[in-house]
Amino acid sequence: MPHSPVVIGVDSSTQSTKALFADAVTGRTLAVGRSPHRVDGSGGARESDPEQWWHALREAVAAGLKESGAPASAVLGLAVAGQQHGLVVLGRDRRPLRPALLWNDTRSAPQAAALTAALGGPAAWTTRTGSVPVAAVTAAKWRWLRENDPSAAERCTAVRLPHDFLTERLTGVAVTDPGDASGTGWYSTATGAYDPEILQLLDLAPELLPTVAPTGGTRVGSLTAEAAEALGLPPTVAVAAGTGDNMSAAVGLGLGGAGLLDHPVLSLGTSGTVFAATRTRPDNPALNGFASADGHHLPLACTLNCTLAVDRIATLLGLDRDDAAPGGEAVLLPYLDGERTPDLPSASGLLTGLRHTTTPRQLLGAAYEGAVFTVLRALDEVLDACALDPASPTAASRPLRLIGGGAQGRTWVETVRRLSGRPLVLPTGTELVALGAAALAASAATGDDPVALAQEWGAGRGTELPPVERDLAAWERIGSVLDRAFRA
């Protein structure tokens, strides 16, 4: 009996690669193969060898294929969603010249500030690209590379994002999509193309960059013979343009033109992220005005310090991660790696408000509160970018979808409920980045709309939690400390 058609969605993240095998019709997850990544660097440095991403992709696909029980011949399509912003520089042999600079490498903060000023300030950047350069943005990393590793910059014959690098290794085609491209700092969401003036400012030749496909679900080719042999798949497998991880998560949730618009999402992972899919082009320097994978917009704010930072505080206190209580008078801002939102790349963790009665459990609870407050404060900006008044009953009653590893943790969920006062939805889908990539893969293979497919698959639906009374005292206390401590 022939096997149902299968698609593969790859989530190549900071820490690992996941290859999700899904039924192309129902979206049912058949298997998830996994392989870890290594991140090197100390201080502000965060680097990875891109070749390990390719090795991990091969391992994850092999593991998923074996676990799924599907024959290789059943696989119709494949798409890669990757960590955003990373800078990959390739030589003439299309191999990396050096380790990739990752999104959370903060050494490029001075270059980001210099670029912002060189174009005329934050408003000028927002008008062109939708976003103001910060240390995470690829443009700042390219400027850092030219200043600190000029030999690699001079020998570079191709500049890629992490997901572009893998898509090219799969197909031999140099291509990206509007979603991931919009995180580079040199792609204009106003024109839908690379910005020639910014490229000139960066001294970045346009021929070094990949072509931009219309959407992340666009079929850009099939597996090369070499890639097909390495993955154990037929060369007929359709490969999509793919996208960035946040854009892929939005697809997996069914957010976009064919699905839910202006519905906010909070992702609790290594970073804390809040975003929504909208038809309105964002024009707010406080946000990343990204494009979405399906041709719309994805206003987004991202914090550096989320689950890993809070886990580090738990380790220092000798507590389990859920052995926490509300912080009381204590305020702990866990900015252990600097911070991206607000833009404080040189910040460190801050603890204040200690009393004789303060307990270790309250200190851990204060770390949760500090991390959650930081990303929730950006939620109002995202809602405003969607043309919603954050204080209106319409916006306040709109459920906040909670995803990421933290959404599986009791204390994370309860802290978000208490500080937001909003209804929550905990989607049934847990590998939403990979599932979104699977929908893009299905789109490449069939021509169907990927957001509509994901809506049919239903991963964005899940457990609904009613709102609880908002803890305004904690909210105001944390906000007051943050504003006083880091006032310009």
Residues noted as catalytic: 245
Phi-psi region of 404 (alpha: psi -120 to 50; beta: other; left: phi over 0): left
325: amino acid identity, one letter: A
From 209, 189, 190, 191, select the one nearest 199 (Cα to Cα): 209
From 454, 19, 31, select the one nearest 247 (Cα to Cα): 454
Instruction: Convert 447-478 to b/e letters by CB count within 10 Å (16 or more is b).
Output: ebbbbbbbbebebbebeebeeeeebeebbebb
Beta bridge partners of 221: 239
Distance CA 386, CA 380 (A): 10
**What is the enclosing helix (H) or strand (E) of 109?**
helix 109-118
Distance CA 188, CA 281 (A): 11
Residue 389 CB partners (closer than 8 Å, separation 6+): 383, 395
Pair type for strands 272-275 and 297-303: antiparallel
